[in-house]
Amino acid sequence: MRLLYINNSGGGFADYLDVTDGTTVSQFFKDKMPHERPEDYLIRVNRQPVPRDYVLQANDRVTITPTKIEGAA
């Protein structure tokens, strides 16, 4: 299934991705950001916060935004 992924970390980018049916938000995050902690990010689907066990659907818009900015005072 295809969805839009928007990563607001660093320079940020957006792209359409194909993911396996039944993929949860938690699995998606671990796949795309394996060395990061989910609690350091706001993860939204279709502009709404979702629980980590939310199952992604075709045409969802997934946004991952850091809640902590490195180097900020």
- How do residues 22-71 score in pLDDT, each as one tens digit? 999 999 999 999 999 999 999 999 999 999 999 999 999 999 999 876 66
Q: What pTM does this model have?
A: 0.85
- Cα–Cα distance for residue pair 68/57, rounded to 1 Å: 28
Burial track 60-73 (b if 16+ CB lie within 10 A, e otherwise): bebbbeeeeeeeee
Residue 9 maps to a domain:
yes
Q: How many domains does the chain have?
A: 1
Q: Which domain range does residue 7 map to?
A: 2-66
Residue 73 maps to a domain:
no
Q: What's the rounded mean pLDDT across residues 4-30?
A: 92
* Single-letter code of the amino acid located at 71: G
Pick the more confident residue, 12 or 69. 12
Token pair for residue 41?
């990010």
Give the N- to C-terminal CA distance of the chain in Å, as an integer: 41
- Cα–Cα distance for residue pair 73/58, rounded to 1 Å: 40
Q: What is the reported pLDDT for 9?
A: 77
